[in-house]
Structure 1
Amino acid sequence: MPPLLPITPPEPPVARPRPGRRTLYAWAAAVAAALLLIAIAAQWSATREASFQADSIRRAMEVHVLGLRDAAGKYSYLPFTAGMHPEVLAVLAHPQDPATRQRANRYIEEVNRLAGSDDLYVSDLQGLTLAASNWATSHSFVGQSYANRPYFIDARAGRSGMFYGVGQTTGEPGLFISAPVRADSGAVLGVVTVKVSLRQLQATWAFVRDPILLTDARGIVFLSSVPGWMYEANRSLSETELGWVQRHQQYGSRTRFPLLPWKVAQLDGQAGYLVRTDIDGKPRRFLAVDEALPDLGWTLTVMADHSEVTQARERTWMLGLLFAGVLLLGGLYWQLRERRFAEQRDARRDLELRVRERTHALDEAHAFRKAMEDSLLVGMRARDLEGRIIYVNPAFCEMTGYSADELLGRQPPYPYWHPDDTAQHWREYETMMSGQSALSGFESNVRHRDGHEVITMVYTARLIDADGRHSGWMSSVVDITEQKRAELRQRQNDEQLQHAQRLASLGEMASTLAHELNQPLMALSNFASAAKAFAEQGNQSLLVSSLDETVAQAQRSAEIVRRIRGFVRQRTVGTEDCAVAALVTNALALLQGEMRLRQARAEVRIPPALPAVRGDRVLLEQVLLNLLSNSLQAMQATPQEQRVVEVEAEVRDGRMHIRVADHGPGIDAALAEQVFAPFFTTKAGGLGLGLNICRTIVEAHRGRLSFADRAGGGTVFTLELEISPP
């Protein structure tokens, strides 16, 4: 009997280590990191959208400020000019003479009609109206006293006045602009006032999407695109402020100004502030930005819908979760694939254990994937090679309005295909079935079960089964309906802004031409009226003098038109020899009206034997015009006797040096490096392009533009140019 061999017990199956806590911690860390990155991206997107909104508000603010300044400034010349006419002086000298008052009434009525203002009237030093453009109407100002109005008080004291309020006689609100009427000795004889309505501006605001409003120095809203905010205040008014408003009857008989129904919150690191309010019974949130208009005493507030910021954050979350979900699915697939290869290598030793572990892992992965797919905001749809729907997630069902049971097993045409785009849907389906779908995706319009249209972006990829075979198609469907609507709104907003900018440019050019021509045209009218009076009196010498002045003013008007045409045309004569004295004279001629308005004068010290400079005459005149205009604006707060612009020229080191000096406050040393920078300005409503363009023009002439402090106060700009060769 052969010896018995020892029986070797079977080798126990080797237990493969299951995923431990370290793997779970890694997954948790990855998910936390992904959520943190998505949160950061969402916050950045919201901040970026808020910045875009603030920029949009600032661009709209510039347009509205230009409109306000044009409405307030285009009639500022009228009281001053009308106060120089003999009929106005006569009625102030003989207020009891009926014939004199009648002639003054008719003159004021005609001037008001030609100027296009609402009302024009003359008052004596006691505030009693002597003549008015509405003298023949039932609400005539003649005989009414406006001694309590601030614009009359300012003009009687020798200053120009500006005041917005409700008319004491008509009850209609408007902007009142006044100027003193002076005798030859400088004494104030009376006051001329023009009333301008801002109804057209408010009517324009009624068509804007978001609120716009104007508040006065006490915070009272007097113009608004939201009617319910009129005559409400953004702060509580003191007894002194209420007494001032009631004493001057600024807003008629109103004695109470309730607070605006706003809840205001400041935004950290962002321009403006957040306003929560109700409009037409609906809660709204707006980003509001204020712009102070110190020369008018007003504050302009422009708002933008803040919900777009929230939508930007939500879109970023949606796309971030989609991307993170795709990465997690890819990582999970890679992990399962590596695990399968490892299990195949050990299949001979632990087949049963491998099957159990793999089954358990697949169950966990399937549960995890299903939970993740169900939580996605992106629709997922899988189809087999015959086009039959084999899988949809809840997001896709919500997008189409059909349940999974109603979609699974369906073949084209699918119930959510839009009937107007059936042919397009068939083309997209055939392209997909042929494997030619673009990786960048395509837009597709589907119809929800309730009938509304849903715009989607579809990304399709091959569906590969566990054996690596092509078994169908997997599509990611993203709802971009709100994004499309936002893009449409943005295009509409851009078109409206471009239209408003074109209108503002046309308005600025028309305002400039009106400002330059109004004074010579009004002088023509005055001298013609004087000539008629001298002809009736038989005073031949004064008649000839008045006619000479009339001819001079007509030539001046023609010269103004010629020069403005020279500045606005795109093509110029080109390079030529230019006399420095002629350049300065032409630039000053265009500024005569502004110099008289600002009560300033110019001192020109240019030697007659200076050589000419080589350059484009129109462009060089434009540079001098800008420098002279800036000097006049810099002396706005300077006493009248010191408002002098000094212009000098000399040849130094073989080059022409032209200096323009003012007596203003000078330029702050902290801002000196930014003076020529584009879009930098210290003027309210300015664009900050004037000096930058001037320096570009001078450098194109191989010259140099610089500035320095003036001894005794003020600023000196030096224009250095090449001299024409002999």
Structure 2
Amino acid sequence: MSVLLFLAAIIAAFWYLRIEELEREHESVKRDTEVAQQQIRLRLIENQEQLVRVAREITTRAIDQDEFVGQATTFARERPEVVSLTWLGADRSRRVSYLSPSHTFNGSRYAEPAEAAASAASGPKVTKSEPEWAFEAARDLRQPVYSRTYATSNGLHVFQVQVPLIDRSAFVGTVVAEYSVEALVRYFVPTEVSNRHGIMLLDPNDRVLASTISRVSAKNGERPSIFHDIPVAPVGNGLILRGLGYRTSIGLISNTLFWMVAALSALTVWMLLGTWRHMRRRLQVQSALVAETNFRRAMENSMLTGMRAMDLEGRITYVNAAYCSMTGFSETELIGKLPPFPHWPPDRMEENRRLFEQELQGRSPAGGIEVKVMRKDGTQFDARMYVSPLVDAKGNQTGWMTSMTNITEAKRIRDQLSASHERFTTVLEGLDAAVSVLSVQQGELLFANRSYRLWFGADARGHALLAGEHPTEVDVTLPDHDDSVDNLSGLPTQELTETGSDPREVYIESLDKWFDVRARYLQWTDGRLAQMLIATDITARRRAEEQAAQQAEKAQVTSRLVTMGEMASSVAHELNQPLTAITNYSNGIISRVKAGTISTEDMLVALEKTSKQAQRAGQIIHRIRAFVKRSEPQRQAAQAREIVEDAVELAMIELRRRNVGIHTYVAQRLPSLMVDPILIEQVLLNLLKNAAEAIDNAKLAPSRRNIELRVIPRHTPEEGGVIEFSVTDNGPGLKEEVLGRMYEAFFSTKADGLGIGLSLCRSIIESHRGRIRAENLYNGPSVVGCRFSFTLPVDTATLSHH
């Protein structure tokens, strides 16, 4: 710890000195940057004062254009940073301009940036140039304004100061001085500052405009680690003066003293670690010896297996505590004894002597021998003994080692398992279900109970039929390319579960039977992977289900006939109107034809009206006939809107008779439904008819005699994506006892009802994997209506297409 603390103190001292050095370098950069900024600022302020004086002389007409050129010449000669001086009028027209001979130009050069010249040549200016912006600012503010930097056509970075000319409070122009950014850095950054640190001027986009560092050294040299930015006053407008500094010290890790101290400290730590490891190794070896001795002693005393050592003559030389505990004899009573041993039963002396001779000759079986052992108290127990040569460290045999295990309990459990297996086999043989076990690798039938043998015989073909494979190719090996197989273990990942696989229903044509087959994989007694099938005969159940389906289909047709029977008077009234109209039109035509007062046009109009009424009557009859027609349930892709339109067209007959209105809303772009349209129309018609009867029986006012039919898409966690059909009325609602029994067969609240309507509706919806529900609508404690709704799952393939 002392060495580590010493090393840490040295590192902390070096680090502190380095931080202090960096702070001094940073202060030096900051100080030199401020000195350069001060020099440039003083120069710009001095020039600005001179320009203000010239502007004052112009406004007082103390000088004219020729004298302005003379003063500009003197001004520019004494100030190499000035590129040009210009006198602009109030309309920004150039009155007179002077270009400094210190700067070279290609062609004529005036106070216009390269962008402005290009814009003027190409057409109307889209954006204002920097001189234009500065001119307008000086005109508006009535004070000197500095422009932002811009590049001239010669590639020179410059900026302007525009001093306004104010004559009796009127703006009459500006005096413009254009500065070279590069000249400011060259002439007004002190030499001692540029020798110590790099100084550069940057625009608002952090682009270097001028620098005391050459481009090559700035590009390829070391990146500055210290810099300080300060705005150039009074220019502003984002012109930044940056001072750069470079680390000149050799750094902490290159310090020779530091490395010497670190090396000495590391050497000391290494020596301490070596000593500590040596002492630790000695302690480990010593502890290992003690632990080994204690472990061997504890192992000898805690082993449940009895251990006995004998010399080559058969004399007992060692017994452990477990051997003494098994026999009841102490260590002193056994060590040194020769046969016959005290734990040999008197009635088995000859047998034990014969086995003992086999031990001394090394002919004991590798699986051990089963013997009877007598305890000191005279009781006996079954034991299994294993004999092996006792070899010393030099590889010489010095005797025999015998291990003895009490197998009394194991033998009892083995006998019980044998009896249990016999009982289990008896139960399997008595099952009505066929049970078979097939080896996956060899295709060998490992087990088949009586029912399997009765139905399929004693070969594996029946197993293959139940497993859904070709009967002539009994091969249930697992292919390597099958994704359902785990190639690491060779076991199918789906089938190997604790509860087994999902049941399948299989039809065996040769037996004309249906079987409920459950399969799972298991490990057979010899370690082989096997497939077990349990096939239950469900032929009677399947036939009962088919009969129930036929009865349900008949009930559906009966319900439709009952519905149309209940609507018979309404249908008759609905058909009476077109038939009466046909009769009236026909009689009218006959009368006018006999009187000779009908023209061809009037006759055509009357015949067309008669034809429309006949078509109307035919549509009503066709709709009713299609509704009540007996047909096999046929699911097909259907649209909810078409189902609703057909159902409402049939229901309007009953609704008009009962003076009940209906409002229908079907959402746009609904996905297709895979349903039987006639059955769904039957459900909707039943619900609409019930709602109309509830409203009519309640004698509601005309404003409340309305039914609302809505079809909207929904998504619930239980059902997923569904389409919901809801029928809402303003009737008296349903009683609580009715809500609990309304779907029971033959339960009805009507005096003449059969009680199959809602029960059949529920069966139809549930056969389409949907749900139907009913609920009362409340306004506070009062029931103000009832809503029946049912959901149908959407066709997922059609939904993805939409």
TM superposition score normalised by structure 2:
0.26
TM-score, length of structure 1 as denominator length: 0.28
Which protein, 1 or 2, shows the higher relative CO under an 8 Å CA cutoff with sep ≥ 6?
1
Instruction: Give the greater-gyration-radius structure (CA).
Output: 2
